Structure 1
Amino acid sequence: MSAEVSRHIAVDLGASSGRVALGTLREGRLSVEVLHRFPNGGVPVRGGLYWDLLGLWREILHGLKLASSRGPVASVGVNSWAVDYGLLDDEGELLGGVHHYRSARLNGVMERVRETVGDGAIYGATGIQFLPFNTLYQLAAERPERLSQARTLLMVPDLLHYWLCGARVTERTNASTTQFYDPLSGEWATPLLDALKLPTHLLPPIALPGTDLGELSPEVARETGLHGTRVIVPATHDTASAVAAVPAAAGETGWAYVSSGTWSLVGVETPQPVLTDAALTANLTNEAGVNGTTRLLKNVMGLWVVQECRRAWDNADFAALYEGAAGVPAGGPLIDPDDARFLHPGLDMPDRVGAYCAETGQPVPRTPAEVMRCVLDSLAHRTVDVLEQLEAVQERPIRTVYVVGGGAQSGFLNQLTADLSGRTVVAGPVEATLMGNLLVQAEASGAIPRGGVREVVRASELLTTFMPSGPVPAGERERFRRLTVRRVTDEALSRG
């Protein structure tokens, strides 16, 4: 490892907040300092739901100004959530707003598209999990007049890179979430879009993680004080950046990851896409990773339900909520966290949890502690469901589960996952997305050797290990499976 100091900036945009962080690489260790935090979320306008991209841009510029005061910075890169995009006109100006993936405009669109071309054609071309907010369905929901004015489609982090330096590309990991990217060719799945009569001329070239897009534009350099700083594309999908920082050892096998935040992304890393009938039946997704890898995973509900319940409880302290849940006896009511009723925001989330329990003949949780225990038990069960599906599809055992992201801080949830799965759970790093973003930039700029990202993570982080504490009570897993029969049956019927 080089003894020289290398500094890089990561912009990390999540569904509820954003950060600008400065990473300092010294003697093979990475230290991360969050310089600026700011809120994010959907803005309702006339029945629609949008992201405030201009507000995010203002906050990003402020964070870059703070970073410039710390000395020379080699590079900057942006990651964000997936699937959402902006449209540019002939002049490169943003057309209208950037729709939020939880917008009601998508109701029924996925079903219509699937009826038009069939699940086999979509999955065979893309290998992507069927989710109602995928970019494919968002594009199909666009008004024809808006599409006719558009000349370029840029995913959210690519749009921000464009504003930073003027380059119009789509980074591979985020392109792979659209459901119109071909994982075998590494190019856009244009025949699929042609079959749906959707425009393909909007799609820019695809760039790999680590691509150097050039220096910040003169305008941005003057505004921020960052001169000579380059824009290096990280893995722009936040989950891909987080998985890049999974602290698995070189050559380690039999591991899976949970990128745990608002969503839980439960998956394994494979050398190539898995496009089998078994993967389609399990509704697994093949998303691109760094260094040519594939992230075979399922996108399931994460801490979103917890976050919305907390909001309904006047933003109660997280630690107190988890402590309260730990004091509630096991074996209580369960929900299917992927039930459609839990997808949308609302201060009635605790009531939705209670309604689900009542409808399924279970005791209704009344107190925040009881609701939290119900939700956390259910999230652990759902994680184990997906681990079992991944084992079956790849026909390989999973012995260790790495939990990265915000959920790594929940010792209670991680112990539940270890107990229910019978597997070792290793938690950390919490800031996996930031670390993955920063270290991909550092690798591309030559500050660390190729393939050295995970070595730096292990050298930089303290990890916590959770071992199964005993056998799972008889019938506990079957009790959860019975609750999810309705959703699984609906998914099977929708696939025809």
Structure 2
Amino acid sequence: MSKTYVAVDIGASSGRLMLAQLKDGKLDLQEMHRFKNGFKFSQGHDRWDIDHLVDEIFCGLEKIKQAGYDEVSLGIDTWAVDYVLVGENGEKLQDPVAYRDERTKESMGDLTTNVSKEYIYEKTGIQFLNFNTLYQLFAEDKELLAKTAKIMMIPDYLGYVLTGNAVTEITNASTTQMLSLREGLFDEKLLEQVNVSANQFPKLVDAGTVLGPVDLKWTEKYDLPKIEVVTVATHDTASAVVGTAGEGHNWAYLSSGTWSLIGTELKVPENGPEAFAENYTNEWGAYGTYRFLKNIMGLWMIQCVKRELNDEYSFAQLAEMASKEEPFQQYIDVNDDRFTNPENMIAEIQAYCEESGQKIPQTPGQLAMAIYSNLSLYYANELDKMDKIMGYHIDTLNIVGGGSNVALMNQLTSTVAKRDVYAGPSEATAVGNIVVQMITNGDILNIYLARRIISGSFPIKHFTPEDGKYEGQLDKYQEFLKVNN
């Protein structure tokens, strides 16, 4: 029997500990612990309760020990861009501010009056989002930064709390929009703009670096298995791409969760003028790759709608109700800033449609279909853009994450994009986290073999374009975006 592996996989709304082993050449994956996550308004900002996340990790590890697993390898992945400020005493100075907080509303505009967007993109290859770490640090309390010994990205901080060892893992570091695309170091000119220095970040390491054992103080406090922590691809999207089966020729991926990340895997970054104009990013991936992708509003919209309906319906029920409605009854720019963190998502969607003179979705099914059909159009539009930027046709789209379970949206995407869609695994982030650990430990030779194992371990659903349906919808949507942007 292979070694036992644990993925700590934490997203914006929930986290879980997943346990895996290789059995007969297949990945056997099981959820051991799940918990809620979310930011709350505190001390003037929307903040993450980072101590809660630490407590839940230990709660899950105790469950794993109680289930009879005495020795495990463990990796941590979370969302990107957010960070923890750590003082000289090794303790956090405050709970981290969440990326959806409004403090960065003007930061990008203010900073780019000093340093041009062209310089930033040429240096970093990272797309412009007003919550990137660069703009968060620009808006940060200067007195607090002066007291900061170390700036740690969220998963790096969690690894530090567990082991006492501090690193900056490169797939997540790249999302800061401060890492030089070709030198692999923080850009001094950009650091100067935000009043920090390179030595305030722990050393940069690649995905697959052994971090070390859990600190003795925790083994005395909790009933834990013996644990070795591996620094995996700590950005959850980087792990999700590792965990993608990569079916088809010239394939693209869509990591479909709270955010939708659509892109392709490259060996050489693409930060030319077309990519800059379309705001594509070149985040670093595991094993010498780049994640050339676009950040799109994802299932966040349907998550908000579900919550605002008092969780009366499950996601499956909302999708079922949506399937009874006609798609494409209104066009919505799902990436409009107004949908980032509105007070009421339902009211915001309805106001958008009213302001643009379109049919207003009223029922839960109509709202769900408005979201799913417009996400599918946005995905198709981005695939067209990637074709032009890359200079070749992307044949297939591999959808992973929670959105891979939404058959309605996957079929709409296949049809309007006129490409085959492969959906699954839904647990790609945890799978990618585990796979990096397995490669580090020698249980899997490399990423190519890992993807074969993934393809044979999980059901991958295949969607093909429906001939003659929804002809012209993508053209109309593209025209709508031109007029309304």
Shorter-normalised TM range: over 0.9
Structure 2 CA distance for aligned equivalents of residues 487 and 152 of structure 1: 43
Tell me the residue number matched to 1:456: 453
Structure 1 CA distance for aligned equivalents of residues 220 and 21 of structure 2: 23
Contact 1:164 1:216 in 2 (8 A): yes
Deviates more, 1:193-202 or 1:260-269: 193-202
TM-aligned CA deviation for residue 325 of structure 1: 0.8
Tell me the residue number matched to 2:26: 29
Tell me the residue number matched to 1:493: none
Structure 1 CA distance for aligned equivalents of residues 350 and 11 of structure 2: 28
TM-score by length of 2: 0.97
Following TM superposition, the consecutive aligned residue runs of length 4 or more in structure 1 with deviations greater than 4 angstroms are none
User: Which of 94, 105, 121 matches 2:92?
Assistant: 94
Describe the SS at the equivalent of 2:41: strand
Structure 2 CA distance for aligned equivalents of residues 28 and 94 of structure 1: 42
Tell me the residue number matched to 2:374: 378
1:67 equivalent to 2:64? Answer yes
The 1:416/1:474 distance shift into structure 2, 3 A limit, reads: closer
Describe the SS at the equivalent of 2:310: coil
Structure 2 CA distance for aligned equivalents of residues 483 and 357 of structure 1: 12
The 1:77/1:224 distance shift into structure 2, 3 A limit, reads: farther
Contact 1:125 1:192 in 2 (8 A): no
Tell me the residue number matched to 1:421: 417
Tell me the residue number matched to 1:485: 482
Question: Could you report, residue by residue, the CA deviation over 1:240-270 in whole angstroms, capped at 9, with x for unpaired residues?
Answer: 1010011126xx6410000000100000000
Question: Could you report, residue by residue, the CA deviation over 1:181-223 in whole angstroms, capped at 9, with x for unpaired residues?
Answer: 1121222222322255443331111111110011111122333
Tell me the residue number matched to 1:17: 14
Tell me the residue number matched to 1:51: 48
Q: How does 1:202-217 map to 2 (within 5 A)?
A: 202-217=200-215
Q: How does 1:312-323 map to 2 (within 5 A)?
A: 312-315=308-311, 316-323=313-320
User: Which of 291, 297, 310 matches 1:295?
Assistant: 291
Contact 1:334 1:375 in 2 (8 A): no
Describe the SS at the equivalent of 2:334: coil
Describe the SS at the equivalent of 2:199: coil
Deviates more, 1:184-193 or 1:16-25: 184-193
1:391 equivalent to 2:377? Answer no
Structure 2 CA distance for aligned equivalents of residues 324 and 133 of structure 1: 34
Tell me the residue number matched to 1:162: 160
Tell me the residue number matched to 2:126: 128
Deviates more, 1:470-479 or 1:84-93: 470-479
The 1:259/1:284 distance shift into structure 2, 3 A limit, reads: same
TM-aligned CA deviation for residue 331 of structure 1: 3.6
Describe the SS at the equivalent of 2:263: strand
Tell me the residue number matched to 1:248: 246
Structure 2 CA distance for aligned equivalents of residues 235 and 323 of structure 1: 35
User: Which of 182, 185, 192 matches 1:184?
Assistant: 182
TM-aligned CA deviation for residue 26 of structure 1: 2.1
The 1:147/1:197 distance shift into structure 2, 3 A limit, reads: closer
Question: Could you report, residue by residue, the CA deviation over 1:299-325 in whole angstroms, capped at 9, with x for unpaired residues?
Answer: 000011111011111112212211111
TM-aligned CA deviation for residue 227 of structure 1: 4.9
User: Which of 467, 472, 475 matches 2:464?
Assistant: 467
The 1:158/1:196 distance shift into structure 2, 3 A limit, reads: closer
Structure 1 CA distance for aligned equivalents of residues 328 and 296 of structure 2: 22
Structure 2 CA distance for aligned equivalents of residues 472 and 184 of structure 1: 44
TM-aligned CA deviation for residue 92 of structure 1: 0.7
Tell me the residue number matched to 2:304: 308
Tell me the residue number matched to 1:405: 401
Contact 1:106 1:132 in 2 (8 A): yes
Contact 2:134 2:194 in 1 (8 A): no
Deviates more, 1:291-300 or 1:218-227: 218-227
Deviates more, 1:411-420 or 1:186-195: 186-195
The one-letter amino acid of 2:170's match is R
TM-aligned CA deviation for residue 226 of structure 1: 3.5
The one-letter amino acid of 1:119's match is K
The one-letter amino acid of 2:238's match is A
Structure 1 CA distance for aligned equivalents of residues 398 and 345 of structure 2: 29
Contact 1:171 1:233 in 2 (8 A): yes
The 1:463/1:122 distance shift into structure 2, 3 A limit, reads: same
Tell me the residue number matched to 2:235: 237
The 1:220/1:345 distance shift into structure 2, 3 A limit, reads: farther
User: Which of 339, 355, 359 matches 1:359?
Assistant: 355
Tell me the residue number matched to 2:278: 282
Tell me the residue number matched to 1:494: none
Question: Could you report, residue by residue, the CA deviation over 1:31-75 in whole angstroms, capped at 9, with x for unpaired residues?
Answer: 111111111111112441000001111111100111123323331
Contact 1:408 1:428 in 2 (8 A): yes
**Unaligned 5+ runs, structure 2:** none
1:259 equivalent to 2:245? Answer no
The one-letter amino acid of 1:358's match is E
Structure 2 CA distance for aligned equivalents of residues 147 and 350 of structure 1: 38
TM-aligned CA deviation for residue 465 of structure 1: 0.3
TM-score by length of 1: 0.94
Structure 1 CA distance for aligned equivalents of residues 215 and 398 of structure 2: 39
Alpha-carbon RMSD across the aligned residues, in angstroms, is 1.4
Q: Sequence identity of aligned pairs in percent?
A: 37
The one-letter amino acid of 1:269's match is E
The one-letter amino acid of 1:48's match is H
1:142 equivalent to 2:130? Answer no
Question: Could you report, residue by residue, the CA deviation over 1:121-141 in whole angstroms, capped at 9, with x for unpaired residues?
Answer: 100110000001000000001
Structure 1 CA distance for aligned equivalents of residues 380 and 220 of structure 2: 50
User: Which of 340, 355, 363 matches 1:343?
Assistant: 340
Tell me the residue number matched to 2:101: 103
Describe the SS at the equivalent of 1:291: coil
Structure 2 CA distance for aligned equivalents of residues 155 and 325 of structure 1: 38
The 1:224/1:432 distance shift into structure 2, 3 A limit, reads: farther
Instruction: State how many pairs are aligned.
Output: 482
The one-letter amino acid of 1:113's match is L
Question: Could you report, residue by residue, the CA deviation over 1:104-152 in whole angstroms, capped at 9, with x for unpaired residues?
Answer: 1111011111121001110011000000100000000111100010010
Contact 1:271 1:292 in 2 (8 A): yes
TM-aligned CA deviation for residue 290 of structure 1: 1.0
Deviates more, 1:70-79 or 1:150-159: 70-79
TM-aligned CA deviation for residue 286 of structure 1: 0.3
Tell me the residue number matched to 2:2: 5
Structure 1 CA distance for aligned equivalents of residues 393 and 166 of structure 2: 41
Structure 2 CA distance for aligned equivalents of residues 205 and 233 of structure 1: 13
1:437 equivalent to 2:406? Answer no
